[in-house]
Structure 1
Amino acid sequence: MRGSKDIKKVTLKDIAKEAGISVGAVSLILNNKPCRISEENKEMVKKIAKEKNYVVNQMARALVTKKSHTLALLLPDIQNTFFSALAKQLEEDCRENGYYLMFVNTNDSFENDKKLLMSLDARGVDGIFIIQSNESYYYYQQFKNQVEDLHIPYVMVDRSFDNMECSQVRFDNQKGGYEATKYLIEEGHQKIACIYMDDYCGNGTHRMKGYQQAMTEANLPIEENYLIVGDNRYQSGYNAVQSILESGVTAVMICNDMMTLGFLKGLYECGKKVPKDISVVSYDDSLSDYLFEIELTTVAQNVEILARESTEMMMELLADPWSKPKKLILDPKLIIRNSVIRKKDKRG
């Protein structure tokens, strides 16, 4: 391996000198710009650039074009399997459209939302995909003001405020919670719990409202101990196990996969099994590659569709920053597997 002092970055000037033409001509050729240069010289320049492993200076190009061809994704929790899968798909879609994608993680903190949005805006990225923290729902006006002050296009992804006039792509969370709970009721369950994130007006709250809607339509009681507040993380699912088992419910709808993962671990430690001892419907469908013995019935949010629609919306904004904001609400899909047992006795 060569030492660092032996490595010299190749410049346009180096290529121009070897080719015997001007630096400007080399720049036009390598950037595929129209120019009155013979095909022979064009091929020679490209060959020299390839042999010397020439790499475009993106910072210099950005100064000239005023575009960095870099986008950013503001993530609330990179450890969350749903968000990591979404980030991966978004990165691939952006790359296919000629853009790099950088990630920043807020740990679901509103203060980090503010700091990182300000930093990304100042660093010259061309646009931002925003998945705001759950805390931001409690600081609506402050969050709204900061986002509207951004100097670059942005798309709110997965999480959003219904009354904000900006480009948004998300799933219908209340519908997802409703469909999950309705399925449990159709399978004969009447005592059904819900573990959810109490995020004021965010995704978790809307999923819980879907649960309430289905229970109310079926004239089923929602006891106080049927509603368990979590925080969308593994530990809160684990902590909910004892309360769920003591409540006497026969089924539970858990509003995200990370809490489900913790809940399953807690059940295992208590010697309980799904669905023999309790039926479970999860949310996100991001665990199917990681679980053994059990295949979770779940509400799927297709990350490929979410990423594709978000990327297309961003590309439209980059082409025309003054275009009218669009709001796209996608339908979740209930996927039935084997984590729910049918109850023959309708009283349970």
Structure 2
Amino acid sequence: MARRVTLRDVAKDAGVSVTTASLVLNKRHSRLSEETRRLVFEAAERLKYVPNQSARSLVTKNTMLVTLIVPDIENLFFASLARCLEEECQQQGYSLIIANSDDSRETEHALIGQIVARGVDGVFLIPARESFGRLDELQADVASIACPVTLLDRMVTGGWCDGVGFDNRHGGSLAAQCLIDAGHTRIGCIAGEGNANRRRQGFVDTLAAAGISLDPRLDVVGNYRFDSGFAAAYAMAQAGATAVFCCNDLMAAGMLRRLGELGLRVPEDMSIIGYDNILARFGMPIEVTTVEQHVESLAAESWRMLYARILEHAGDDDARPWLSEPQTKLLEPRLINRGTVKVLRGCRQGEE
């Protein structure tokens, strides 16, 4: 096995001291000449030197590691978000560790304990669905983490911790308004816990403002997965829905599949709106009108918030401004119309 190139090897090759080589490669402020810096960088490149992060961490007290706790890594939105976050972290030299909670409060609690022991520099936490009803436990766990924490996507903060997400109520309202403008009144909804419930609330409120009520037979609780959209399709058709709002794209995909098996056409027989705009990122040839949560924007904004806290925390180990002075940023979703909403006869879509 080839011997690992050390900082001493780089210093010797460049003709400088180990201290000088360290100052240059760690980009520390010093009065070294540009010629000396050039010699050190060229030696490091020539020898293919890779810094020993463990040794560096002992000096800087930084691990250059950030953790993302995600509820369901098989969910396409979360998988895409994890990839985008990884790209954001890498730009600043950080590595992202991804842990899956399976939407379990107990698993989430255990993972947070492991994070505390590991000593990462920051934590992105997308709370488990079970934590929505056990907020006191979640808050206690977050308070036990010594490094900065940003709650992500599922906005359960209530103003007690830094958080970045989309305005889910507004997204549901956009979907409702699209169907109202198209002349639909017999409208169904497949929602769920957490964010989907907020989307449903914005959806229902906007329908109510237009004098449209949601029939209980058309108000279905889903699980964010393909199968719940698939299972709900027949009941929606039997109950006479002309349009359905699915609170994520995977449920919309399931509904589209089942409607096709039933011999129903979209949008001729039933209009469909999804949520997330995530299917195309994974090569799925499914065109559906959807409310987009721009995943790159979410990743960029959340990393910007967490990284600023990491830099701030480096100067004061005792301060925890992410808890004492929490910031909340809500991003705006937008509707993308891909033709799966039929405009009913006698109604011009978008008419005020």
TM-score relative to the length of structure 1: 0.90
State the match for 2:176 in structure 1: 181
State the match for 2:21 in structure 1: 26
Of all paired residues, the percent bearing the same amino acid is: 39
- Residue of structure 2 aligned with 1:233, choices 225, 231, 248: 225
Residue 164 of structure 1 deviates from its aligned partner by 4.1
The 2-side partners of 1:38 and 1:298 are apart by 57
**Farther-moved stretch of structure 1 (57-66 vs 241-250):** 241-250
- Residue of structure 1 aligned with 2:69, choices 74, 92, 104: 74
1:281–1:34 CA distance, 2 compared to 1 (3 A) = closer
Counterpart secondary structure, 2:9: helix
Residue 185 of structure 1 deviates from its aligned partner by 1.5
1:84-116, CA deviations, whole angstroms, 9 ceiling, x for partnerless residues?
Answer: 222222222222233222222222222221111
Residue 126 of structure 1 deviates from its aligned partner by 0.4
Conservation of the 8 A alpha-carbon contact between 1:234 and 1:259: yes
State the match for 2:81 in structure 1: 86
Conservation of the 8 A alpha-carbon contact between 1:144 and 1:164: no
1:118-171, CA deviations, whole angstroms, 9 ceiling, x for partnerless residues?
Answer: 212221210011111112112111111111221110111111224241111111
Q: Is residue 60 from structure 1 mapped to residue 52 from structure 2 by the alignment? A: no
State the match for 1:50 in structure 2: 45
State the match for 2:243 in structure 1: 251
- Residue of structure 1 aligned with 2:278, choices 279, 286, 289: 286
RMSD: 2.0
Conservation of the 8 A alpha-carbon contact between 1:173 and 1:203: yes
1:186–1:91 CA distance, 2 compared to 1 (3 A) = same
The equivalences for 1:45-194 within 5 A come to: 45-194=40-189
1:19-71, CA deviations, whole angstroms, 9 ceiling, x for partnerless residues?
Answer: 55433233223223345666555444433322221100011101110011221
State the match for 2:338 in structure 1: 337
1:299-325, CA deviations, whole angstroms, 9 ceiling, x for partnerless residues?
Answer: 111112212211111122112244421
The 2-side partners of 1:214 and 1:46 are apart by 61
The 2-side partners of 1:219 and 1:40 are apart by 75
**Farther-moved stretch of structure 1 (11-20 vs 260-269):** 11-20
The equivalences for 1:193-342 within 5 A come to: 193-197=188-192, 199=193, 202-289=194-281, 290-292=283-285, 295-321=287-313, 322=319, 323=321, 324-342=325-343
TM-score relative to the length of structure 2: 0.89
Q: Aligned residue pairs: how many?
A: 337
The 2-side partners of 1:97 and 1:15 are apart by 23
Query: Which runs of 5 or more residues in structure 2 are unaligned?
Result: 314-318, 348-352
The 2-side partners of 1:38 and 1:175 are apart by 56
The 1-side partners of 2:275 and 2:52 are apart by 44
Conservation of the 8 A alpha-carbon contact between 2:191 and 2:220: yes
Residue 264 of structure 1 deviates from its aligned partner by 1.7
1:181–1:121 CA distance, 2 compared to 1 (3 A) = same
**Farther-moved stretch of structure 1 (69-78 vs 125-134):** 69-78
The equivalences for 1:2-13 within 5 A come to: 5=1, 7-13=2-8
The 1-side partners of 2:33 and 2:21 are apart by 12
Conservation of the 8 A alpha-carbon contact between 1:297 and 1:340: yes
Conservation of the 8 A alpha-carbon contact between 1:194 and 1:227: yes
Conservation of the 8 A alpha-carbon contact between 1:155 and 1:166: yes
State the match for 2:350 in structure 1: none
Conservation of the 8 A alpha-carbon contact between 1:288 and 1:296: no
The 1-side partners of 2:170 and 2:16 are apart by 64
